[in-house]
Structure 1
C-alpha cells in the first residue's frame, strides 16, 4: 500500500512540474519553467524546517543537551536531501529490488531482521540489505501492513520473518528497527513471548519508546498509539521484564525531527547511544549503527 501511495504522489509531483515547465515554454516564458520545481522543493524544505523548529521548542532536559542552531541546520540540510531518496525512490519504486537473503548456504554469523517504521516499507532498508549481502549475512526485511492500522497487527508478520530466519540459520537473530518499528518489535514480543529466545540483540533507531510529541494529533490508529502517555504505550511497558529490555540498544538524537523530545526515544533498562546532528531518516544511515550490528552478528 505504501509503495502505491508514494508512487502515485511522486508521479503527480513529476507531472505537475513537467506540465508547468511545458506550459511556460509554450507561452514563451521559459525562464519561469523551474518555478514549479522550486515550489515543490521549497515547500518540502519549509515543512521539514517547521518540524525542526517544533522539535527544538519541545526539548526536555535529560540524556541529550539542546541542539545548537548549527547542528539543527546541518541536520535539516542533510534530511532535505536524504528523505526524498527514501520516500520518492526507494520505497515507491525499488521496494522489491533486493530480495531477502534467508536460505543462503554461505551465510556468515547471526542473521539480521530489518523492521521499518511508519509510512515506510522494506525499500527503506535497501542500503542495509546491499551491505549485508556483500558481507554474506542472511537477512529478512518484511513490509508491515496495514500501513495505518494498529501496531499490534504487525506482530504476526514479524513472527513469521523471525522464525524463518532462525530456522534457516539455527542461530539467534539480530533485529534492527527504525522509528515505529521498535514499537512493533516490542508488540511482537508481547504477543509471542516464547519467541524472545530467538533474539540475540535488538537495535532500535529513533524509536518513540515513550511516544513522540509529533503524534499529538495523529489520525491513524498507530499514530495515536505513539502519542506521549497513550494507554497503548503504558500497557506495552507494563508487560516487559528487565531481562527483555536488556537486549535492547537504542540510538536517539537531539536533532530528530519526528521523535521528540529526544528522551522519548529512550527505553528504561536498555543501552542508549546519542547521535548528534542527525535527523530522523538520516539516522538509519549512520555508520556507527551498522558497525554495531555487524559486531552483534559475529559468532564468538
Structure 2
C-alpha cells in the first residue's frame, strides 16, 4: 500500500512543479529540472527540520559523544541521502528493487531473521541491510505492517502471523527479530502479549521505546501511540521482556527522529549507543551491520 501511495505522490508532485514551471515561462527541459529540484529540495528541507528539532530537544550527551562540524555535515548529508533513496526508489518501487523473497527450508537449529520496518516504511527499507545479512549466510524475511495509520496493535497481530509463516516455510522453531524504529515497538508488543516461544532474540535499531516528541507531527493512531507517556507505551513498559530473551537496542545519540534520543534505550536490553548517525542512516551503516551480525552469531552458538 505504501509503495502505491508514494508513487502517486511523486507523480502528482512532479506534475505540479512541472506545470508551475511551464506556466512561469520555462521550457520543458528546464521545467523538468526545476520540478526534480523541488522534489529533492523539499525532502532535504524536511530532514534539516528534524535535525533542528532533535537538537533543541536533545538528551544530555557525554563529552566523548561530541562530533565536530565536518562530521555533523557528513551526518546530515548522509541522512538526506538515505531519505531520498528510501522514499524515491527503494520504497515506492519495493517489488522491483527487492525482487522475489522465497524462503527455503533451513538446517535444524538455524534461525531466520525477520526484519520489521518502521513508521511510514515498508520492506524496501531493508534493501541494504538485507543484502549484508544474506552475504553473511543468513536467511532474511520481512513483513509489511498495514494499515499505514492503524494502531500498533494491528502490527502486533500481523507480525505474530508472519512469525508463524516464516517458521512454517523454513522449518525453524524460532526467528531473530530485527526491527527499525516503530518496528521495535511492534516486536515488543508481540513479546509482551504472546511471549517469546518463537523468538530467539530481539534487535532494535533506533526504536522509540519511550516515545518521541516528533510523533506529535505524525498521522494516525500509531503516531499517537508513539507520543511520550501514551497509554500504549505505558502498557507495554509494564510488561517486562520474557526471561532469558537476548535483546539489544542499537541507537544513535544524534538520532533526528526519536527525540529525546535516550528514549531509544529500554530496561532489560543491551543498549548500544552510536554517534554521528541519523535515524534512517542506521539502515545503511556498516557499523550497525557489524553489530547486528555479532548479535546474530551469539544465538547460533
TM range (shorter): 0.7 to 0.9
Among candidates 181, 184, 188, match of residue 182 of structure 1? 184
Deviation larger for 100-109 or 229-238: 100-109
Distance 2:8 2:36 in 1: 17
Contact 2:191 2:242 in 1 (8 A): no
Residue 297 of structure 1: CA displacement? 3.7
- Name structure 2 gaps, 5 residues minimum: none
3-state secondary structure, aligned to 1:243: coil
For residues 136 and 241 of structure 1, what CA distance do their matches in structure 2 show?
28
| TM-score where L is the length of structure 2 | 0.87
Matched, 1:289 2:291: no
TM-score norm. by structure 1 comes to 0.87
Q: For each residue in 1:224-245, what CA deviation from the matched residue of structure 2 results, as whole angstroms up to 9, or x when unmatched?
A: 100011111011100224736x
Q: In 2, are the aligned partners of 1:104 and 1:138 still within 8 Å (CA)?
A: no
- Asked if the contact 1:174/1:293 (under 8 Å) is kept, the reply is no
1:22 shift after superposition? 6.1
Contact 1:106–1:136 (Cα < 8 Å) also in 2: no
Does the 8 A contact of 2:110 with 2:172 survive in 1? Answer: no
Change (3 A) 1:230 1:68: farther
Q: Distance in 1 between matches of 2:163 and 2:23?
A: 52
Alignment of 1:264-283 (within 5 A): 264-283=263-282
SS at match of 2:271: strand
The CA deviation string for residues 121-170 of structure 1, in whole angstroms up to 9 with x for no partner, is 11111223333444442221010001100001012221122123334243
Structure 1 vs Structure 2 CA RMSD: 2.8
Residues 217, 224 of structure 1: 8 Å contact kept: no
* Shift in CA distance, 63/9, structure 1 to aligned 2, threshold 3 Å: farther
Q: CA deviation at 1:31?
A: 6.3
- Cα 1:101–1:288 change in 2 (3 A) is farther
**Structure 1 residues without counterparts, runs of 5 or longer:** none
DSSP 3-state at the match of 2:143: coil
Say if 2:179 and 2:203, in contact at 8 Å, map to a contact too.
yes
Q: 1:35 to 1:153 in 2, by over 3 A?
A: same
- The residue aligned with 1:3 is 3
Q: CA-to-partner distance for each residue in 1:22-58, whole Å, 9 max, x for gaps?
A: 667x756976764333333222222211110110010
- Is 1:254–1:262's contact at 8 Å kept on the other side of the alignment? yes
Aligned residue pairs, count:
296
Equivalent-residue separation in structure 2 for 1:108 and 1:98 (angstroms):
27
Contact 2:106 2:172 in 1 (8 A): no
Q: For structure 1, which segment, 150-159 or 91-100, has the greater mean C-alpha deviation from structure 2 after superposition?
A: 91-100
